[in-house]
């Protein structure tokens, strides 16, 4: 996985967007309409913003010391299953992040970034399926 490409993409998104949360969830809801009902009570978007922040923090940990990322994802699988969120949503969320970030960056989005996000999504898929994974 190209860690630098992931980090570069996050840096560029931070430069180009004050808050990418609306774009990420717009992409998620467009691809997976069933997920929108899970956020009916989040009228101000606070929960969505918090979840995106946690997803990015988890990504940064995974790319660095990996002190909590895999365990955090597994714990969140359990927490979210209690409210009816299917396991496959977790890698799909990272996919929606990548697609939204690509839209935000336009021509600044590179093939290396796309491959890195595809690799990351595959790693998240492995984690949520309980498969052994390496960085």
For the chain, the domains span 3-128
The answer on pLDDT for 135 being more than 70 is: no
pLDDT beyond 70 at 131: no
pLDDT digits (tens, 9 = 90+) for 41-86: 888 889 899 999 999 999 999 999 888 888 888 888 777 877 777 7
Q: Tokens for 117, please give them.
A: 């996000």
Distance in angstroms (rounded) separating the CA atoms of residues 128 and 59: 14
Give the Cα separation of 132 and 25 in Å (integer): 29
Tokens of 99: 């697609």
Q: What average pLDDT does range 3-24 have in this prediction?
A: 97
CATH number of the 3-128 domain: 1.10.490.10
The reported pLDDT for the residue numbered 129 is 82
DSSP 38: G
Nearest to 29 by CA among 12, 15, 42: 42
* Entry pTM: 0.89
Angle at the Cα of 46 from the Cα atoms of 42 and 47, rounded to 5 degrees: 65
| Cα dihedral across residues 110, 111, 116, 120: positive or negative | positive
């Amino acid at each position: 996985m190209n860690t630098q490409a992931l980090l570069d993409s996050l840096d560029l998104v931070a430069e180009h967007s004050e808050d990418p949360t609306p774009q990420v969830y717009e992409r998620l809801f467009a691809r997976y309409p069933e997920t929108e009902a899970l956020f009916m009570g989040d009228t101000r978007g606070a929960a969505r913003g918090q979840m995106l922040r946690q997803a990015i923090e988890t990504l940064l940990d995974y790319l660095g010391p990996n002190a909590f990322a895999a365990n955090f994802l597994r714990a969140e699988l359990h927490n979210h299953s209690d409210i009816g969120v299917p396991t496959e949503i977790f890698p799909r969320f990272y996919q929606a992040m990548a697609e939204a970030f690509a839209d935000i960056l336009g021509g600044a989005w590179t093939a290396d970034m796309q491959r890195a996000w595809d690799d990351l999504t595959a790693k998240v898929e492995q984690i949520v399926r309980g498969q052994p994974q390496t960085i």
